[in-house]
Amino acid sequence: MTLGEIVTFSNGRSRPAEGSAYRTYGANGVIGTAGDFNAGPHSTIVGRVGSYCGAVHYSAEPSWVTDNAIIAAPKEGVNPRYVYYLLTRLDLNRYRIGSGQPLLTHGILNRLTTGRLTRARQDAAASVLGALDDKIAVNDRIAACGDELIRARYASSGARGAIRIGALGDLVRAGVPAGRIGHGENYIALEHMPKRHMWLSTWSDASGVTSAKRRFASGDILFGKLRPYFHKVGLAFVDGVASTDILVVRPKDPAHRGWLLAALASDEVVAHASAIGDGTRMPRAKWPDIAAFQIPWPGTTRARAFNDFVTPLAARVQAATSETRALTALRDTLLPHLIP
């Protein structure tokens, strides 16, 4: 059968009403909030234009969808979460048209064909795959809560002293040419680093690396120096190699790792790095400028106590990250079998 038999497609709208009651979705997921919604609960959102054309997201709650995306609503008798997994399974990006500005249209989507599944099989597939995604979502919330707790504790520390960042951390300069990087090594580029989120839970293998990189170790703090206003700073959970657009910072004393992480990930340090970055279109922050920046300092005893607070949170997030990677691999393996 065709997708048009089971799904109704409609474009989003450009200007959401101001507010925070509903999430706003663009071509590649949540981009903000809105005071109104134009997509009902249990909708699937498909990227319509640009580099994220064909990206698929699911919203259990009502949401606002911009005109960079398409709303996919199930027709009567169709499991809404099955629609999400079906569109994910179809790899919609391969059906895009245009080169300079890739595009998906309703006509393209309506004509795509898929196997006909009974409602019982739709429910079964959505139940299994949805359970895995629900646990992944719980792990994501654990990471987000850990991030928020650390930021709040750092902001409310009442530290009256000051210290240079360079007194707490060193820049790791261990470069490695592409020819000496194993294909199975972990690789972190800027696209793997989430915005304003201090846990680096995503990475790839280095099989596609063709240029020199920087080595980093688990426990190092990575700071995106290219366009630092994107606020890409986080703690590495694995050893690997990183893009040269990333600064690798290692604490001088492991007992100060938590304070150094909170400081480097703070809005103040990122704002400073953004203000002093070289270049206009593609500004880059320099380590000497960051290292010289003064941050609050509570003293050695309280900094160690802060690290004792951060360490178990980081370990919990790291465990959740490992579980999420296993669950994601399982879900992706099951998907083509449950939705052929």
What digits encode the pLDDT tens for the residues 15-25?
A: 888 899 999 99
- Mean pLDDT of the region 154-169: 95
Phi/psi at 338 (5° precision): -85, -30
Model confidence band, residue 307 (pLDDT cutoffs 50, 70, 90): very high
First-last CA distance in the chain:
13
Looking at the domain that runs over 3-116, which CATH code has it been given? 3.90.220.20
The CATH H-level superfamily of 143-298 is DNA methylase specificity domains (3.90.220.20)
Helices 300-338 and 80-89, axial angle in degrees (round to 10): 90
Confidence at residue 94, expressed as pLDDT on a 0 to 100 scale: 94
In one letter, which amino acid is 262?
A
What residue spans in the chain does CATH classification 3.90.220.20 cover? 3-116, 143-298
Model confidence band, residue 281 (pLDDT cutoffs 50, 70, 90): confident
Confidence at residue 226, expressed as pLDDT on a 0 to 100 scale: 95
pLDDT at 277 over 90: no
- Mean pLDDT of the region 72-77: 96
Residue % of the chain over a pLDDT of 70: 100
Q: How far apart are CA 195 and CA 190, in angstroms?
A: 10
pLDDT at 278 over 90: no
Q: How far apart are CA 125 and CA 131, in angstroms?
A: 10
Tokens representing 317 are 């997030």
Confidence at residue 314, expressed as pLDDT on a 0 to 100 scale: 98
What is the strand order of the sheet 233-236 is part of? 169-171, 246-251, 221-224, 233-236, 199-200
The predicted-structure confidence for 115-124, as pLDDT tens digits, reads as follows: 999 999 999 9
Tokens representing 29 are 């997921």
Alpha helix (H) ranges present in 213-286? 257-264, 267-276
pLDDT, the chain, mean: 95
Using alpha carbons only, what angle is made at residue 284 by residues 167 and 218, rounded to the nearest 5 degrees?
50
Alpha helix (H) ranges present in the chain? 80-89, 106-111, 119-155, 257-264, 267-276, 287-291, 300-338
Q: How far apart are CA 338 and CA 80, in angstroms?
A: 15
Contact 6, 83 (CB under 8 A): yes
Confidence at residue 83, expressed as pLDDT on a 0 to 100 scale: 97
Confidence at residue 98, expressed as pLDDT on a 0 to 100 scale: 85
Model confidence band, residue 210 (pLDDT cutoffs 50, 70, 90): very high
- SS3 at position 253: coil
pLDDT at 280 over 80: no
The predicted-structure confidence for 1-11, as pLDDT tens digits, reads as follows: 999 999 999 99
Model confidence band, residue 330 (pLDDT cutoffs 50, 70, 90): very high
Q: What is the CB neighbour count within 10 angstroms for residue 227? A: 18
Question: pTM of the prediction?
Answer: 0.88
Beta bridge partners of 70: 11, 46
